[in-house]
Amino acid sequence: MKFNHIFLGLCLVFTNLSFCQDAPVDAYQDSLQNIIDSDVSKSVKKESLFLLGEYLVQRDPDKAELIAEDLKANFIKNDSNEIRRNNYIFAASHRWHGDYSTALEYYRGINSYSKRNNDSLDIAISSHFIGTISMYLGNNVESQKHLLEAAEIYNVVGTAKQKARINNTLAGFYLNVDQLEKGKQQYLKALKQFEVLKDSTGLASVNANLGMVYTDLGEYEKAEYHLMKQKEYNVVFPTLREMGFHHDFLGLLRQEQNRLDEAYEEHLKALKIRENLSSTYNLCESKIHMGEILIKLERYDEAINQLKDVFSFEEHESLNQEQRAYDLLAEAYEKQGDYKSALGNFKAYKTMTDSIYSKESIEIIAEKDALYNQHKKDAEIALLSKEKEISETKLSRSKSIMIISFIGLGLLTIAALALLKLNRKIKSKNETISKALKDRELLLHETHHRVKNNLQMISSLLNLQSKYVKDDNVFEVLQNGRNRVQSMAILHKNLYVGEDLNMVNIQHYFEGLVDSILNSYNKTESDVNLKIDADKVTMDVESVIPLGLIVNELITNSLKHAFPKDIKSKPEITLKMSEREDFYTLRVSDNGVGIQNDIIENGKKESFGQRLIRSLSKKLKASMSVTNDNGTSVSFVLPK
């Protein structure tokens, strides 16, 4: 196997760059589709279409492109940012079809727009795509330029996942320019980053790439270990595309192990998978590898037919693939005894190789080395000239230098004294400010503590009063009022015991709120299966107060009405909240008997609690939807 076959490990890079969700396909896709099909505002429907299109680009590129067309025709007017976001969907759908030339045009347009608007992060994202596609097509100059540009930006403002992804891509670039050891170290660095992130897709990609690296190094046990790890991680995100990569890379390993029949079977599996997928680039990779193994099996006519097919696909126009096809065709014809055809293909291979490496990649490396050496020599010459100038003028100007030195020393002394005085003044002011901030923080802690105590006292009074009430309706009103007061008391408790006095950890708040509600109804976790998922979501206190009251009402309603005594299944209530770039989503659902349809459809029959929920939703500018399917599910979309 030739060294530049390592470049194939990069074919999984695009999986890492896609806009994916961690939720199961059906659940996430169905959730978005339900929002799109429901009676929600146009802005919410538009955002849901964006999210669905971004989610489907690698799962169903055709449907993703239809969604992008719908957005372009019916939802996007003159908003440049929305046009750019939609162009990402168009670009990705073409990319997953193997139409790299069209995808590259979209990414270049996005990159130009981002540079005009000084959007650093988006410059990095689009440059990452341009660099990767250019590497596929054999344009190493453009690839290096954009990948380094993306890496520099990610190092300053990128997330941990973006840094891991660019390291994965740069590793592939180093391998493509014959820097095997550097590429391996870069992959190992990316592997550690993805392990910290627990990113299964990224781990699958890096393990596949390391499998290829160790195959070229002849370390077959390590190669097999990483390819099997890739297969394990693919179980988390099982698509035919990823299994195609697995069989293809495993086939290359078997070739190096001289297990030719097994290699042929693995390559054949990959080829059959890719014949039914949209990417012609990956299909050509399989045809090249089939040609390679067929040559080793002395099935030259079959090999030639597979290799000639590589030139029939114009979508991606990969110089790397054409170069390798010419090389293998020359070998096949030579072993057949057709030396004229062998010579013609070998000349084409040499021409292509000179175009990719000698003219571009090697020239870049040589140019950078020359530039570095020239800067180094210029600095040395400048230093020698300066020393000579000082030596020639030292005697004649010694007196002037001495006078200037004394003057400079005096000025420095004055400046030092002034700076010392200024430093003391600044230090004093900083101490005053620090003390004021500590006093303010202490006051806020004390305020939240007292508010919590006062609310707790009100809750206790309501609870005490309810014990002297014999009317069930009045008792219920007092208990509901107590729970609402308690929801606010828990909020202030979280604030005064936490480090941030203005932002609330929603997971901790919901857990305390649910425990309080269960206690008020004499319920425990053995009676009701409660699931709370709001990890890493934080909100300001002004928004959390109405949000807590809404959750209080919904869970109270579920406990009171959703689970009659004759219900067979164990009561289950799910409370989930997630955060997106522009909005939050909240869903409270149960597996009970469901809310009556006439209550949903006729607002006049609403209870006080239901009117309170709608009133608080309007205050939060949230859209609400209610569904009855194996229980009741109430969803909210809250704009930030």
Answer yes or no: is pLDDT of 86 > 90.
yes
Angle at 389 between CA 387 and CA 392, to 5 degrees: 110
Q: Tell me, what's the pLDDT at 25? A: 52
Residue 493 CB-half CA count within 13 A:
17
Is position 330 within any domain? yes
Asked which of 180-184, 307-311, 385-389, 577-581 is least confident by mean pLDDT, the reply is 385-389
Question: What tokens were used for 416?
Answer: 């030092």
Is position 304 within any domain? yes
Instruction: Return the CATH number at 338.
Output: 1.25.40.10
Answer yes or no: is pLDDT of 11 > 80.
no
| pTM for this prediction | 0.49
Is position 604 within any domain? no
Q: What is the pLDDT of residues 499-518, one digit of tens each?
A: 666 788 889 888 888 888 88
User: DSSP character for 355?
Assistant: I
Question: What tokens were used for 269?
Answer: 């599996």
Is position 68 within any domain? yes
CB of 560 closer than 8 Å to CB of 602 = no
Is position 488 within any domain? no
pLDDT greater at residue 466 or residue 619: 619
User: Sorting pLDDT into bands at 50, 70 and 90, what band is 48?
Assistant: very high
521: helix, strand or coil: coil
Total domains present in the chain: 1
Is position 109 within any domain? yes
Asked which of 232-241, 314-323, 435-444 is least confident by mean pLDDT, the reply is 435-444
pLDDT average, residue stretch 285-303: 93
Give the integer Cα–Cα distance in Å for 328 and 307: 8
In this structure, the dihedral spanned by the alpha carbons of residues 209, 212, 216 and 218, taken in order and rounded to 10 degrees, is 110
What residues have CB less than 8 Å from 620, skipping those under 6 apart?
543, 546, 547, 636, 638
Is position 421 within any domain? no
Q: Tell me, what's the pLDDT at 18? A: 45
Q: What is the pLDDT of residues 554-594, one digit of tens each?
A: 998 888 888 888 777 889 999 999 999 899 999 999 998 88
Is position 29 within any domain? no
Answer yes or no: is pLDDT of 450 > 80.
no
Q: Tell me, what's the pLDDT at 523? A: 82
pLDDT average, residue stretch 172-200: 88
Answer yes or no: is pLDDT of 439 > 60.
no
- CB contact burial 507-528 (16+ within 10 A = b; e otherwise): bbbbbbbbebbbebeeeeeeeb
DSSP-assigned beta bridge partners for residue 589:
574, 633
Domain of 291 in residue numbering reads as 3-19+57-366
Q: Tell me, what's the pLDDT at 445? A: 56
Looking at 257-359, list the stretches that DSSP marks H as alpha helix, in order from N- to C-terminal side.
260-275, 280-296, 300-309, 319-336, 339-353
Answer yes or no: is pLDDT of 254 > 90.
yes
Where do we find the tokens 């062998």? 342
